[in-house]
């Protein structure tokens, strides 16, 4: 946090009105769900608007690391960051952002991504125009942030960190809190946006049918693979599907659609397919 506030690690160009997303996700022995997320991403219109995909692997124990290494070698826009220490979700996100800043710092402005799309591995894209509509929101230059806002006793609304978008030039600013190791890692950042009067767009991602977040997958993985992780002490590991009507059925239908490509023995075919869509 001190490094971000006092010594910015990169100079991020001002937003130019042409949205280019960097999708950032943290894998915590949830490689099966990550595969499914990428498969549904392939069905998106305007998926070329996602110019970079950064996968941070938090010391996964599900046997998926070789797949991720081969994936990043095969597809130019996919980058793999291997994190073996301090395996919190927030740490993974910060490490991914730091890597992205270094990776793109030498590129021409028009080749750099300018909006972070932070999403959990266990989300699926449902509406094929999700990326298109999000790009239009940011291209208006009115909004610094988009996510499904929820109002509670907190002064400011907040969106769950499972799916949200944020302009990179805004996130770098000293008055904006970084993502923190917190019960809601993105809340301090969102609170600082609100307090500094940045415009937040209420993008109804789950309730509007744009995506579906399964939920609790990291907790279930921690129980299985990481007995010392704080996540493993969580009592509830049951998916919630964000209380979306027929959420479990929607999820299962999507898994069934890609059942062959999701088989462990078909990883080479899966990479070939993903490369044809994302390469």
Mean pLDDT of all residues in 44-62: 97
Position 85 confidence tier, pLDDT thresholds 50, 70, 90: confident
Sorted by where each begins, the domain ranges of the chain are 2-264
pTM above 0.85, yes or no: yes
Percent of the chain with pLDDT over 70: 89
Task: Give the pLDDT confidence of 103-120 residue by residue, as tens digits.
Answer: 999 999 999 999 999 999
Q: Is the predicted pLDDT of residue 231 greater than 70, yes or no?
A: no
233 exposure class (CB count in 10 Å sphere: 0-12, 13-18, 19+): exposed
Q: What is the mean pLDDT of residues 2-10?
A: 51
Average pLDDT rounded to a whole number, residues 81-88: 90
Superfamily of domain 2-264: Spore Coat Polysaccharide Biosynthesis Protein SpsA; Chain A (3.90.550.10)
Mean pLDDT (whole number) for 220-238: 62
pLDDT score, position 2: 46
CB 176 within 8 A of CB 196: yes
The residue-averaged pLDDT of 134-143 equals 98
Query: Stretch 152-176: mean pLDDT, rounded?
Result: 91
Report pLDDT digits (tens) over 239-274. 999 999 999 999 999 999 999 999 999 999 999 999
The answer, yes or no, to whether residue 219 has pLDDT greater than 70, is no
pLDDT score at 6 = 46
- Calculate mean pLDDT across residues 160-182: 94
């Amino acid at each position: 946090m001190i490094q971000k506030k006092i010594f910015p690690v990169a100079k991020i160009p001002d937003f130019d009105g042409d949205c280019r997303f960097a999708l950032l996700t943290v894998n915590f022995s949830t490689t099966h769900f990550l595969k499914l997320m990428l498969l549904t991403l392939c069905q998106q219109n305007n998926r070329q608007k996602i110019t970079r995909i950064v996968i941070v692997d938090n010391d996964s124990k599900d046997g998926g690391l070789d797949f991720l290494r081969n994936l990043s070698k095969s597809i130019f826009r996919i980058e793999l960051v291997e994190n073996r220490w301090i395996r919190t979700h927030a740490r993974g996100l910060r490490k991914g952002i730091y890597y992205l800043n270094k990776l793109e710092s030498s590129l021409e402005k028009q080749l750099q991504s300018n909006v972070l799309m932070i999403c959990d591995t266990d989300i699926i894209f449902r509406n094929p125009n999700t990326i298109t509509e999000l790009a239009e929101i940011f291209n208006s230059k009115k909004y610094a942030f988009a996510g499904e806002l929820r109002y509670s006793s907190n002064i400011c609304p907040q969106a769950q960190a499972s799916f949200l978008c944020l302009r990179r030039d805004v996130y770098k600013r000293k008055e904006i809190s970084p993502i923190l190791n917190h019960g809601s890692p993105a809340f301090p950042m969102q609170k600082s946006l609100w307090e500094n009067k940045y415009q937040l767009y209420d993008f109804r991602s789950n309730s509007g049918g744009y995506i579906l977040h399964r939920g609790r997958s990291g907790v279930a993985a921690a129980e299985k693979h990481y007995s010392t992780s704080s996540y493993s002490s969580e009592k509830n590991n049951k998916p919630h599907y964000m209380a979306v009507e027929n959420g479990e059925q929607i999820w299962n239908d999507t898994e069934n659609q890609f059942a062959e490509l999701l088989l462990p023995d078909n990883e080479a075919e899966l990479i070939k397919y993903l490369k044809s869509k994302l390469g």
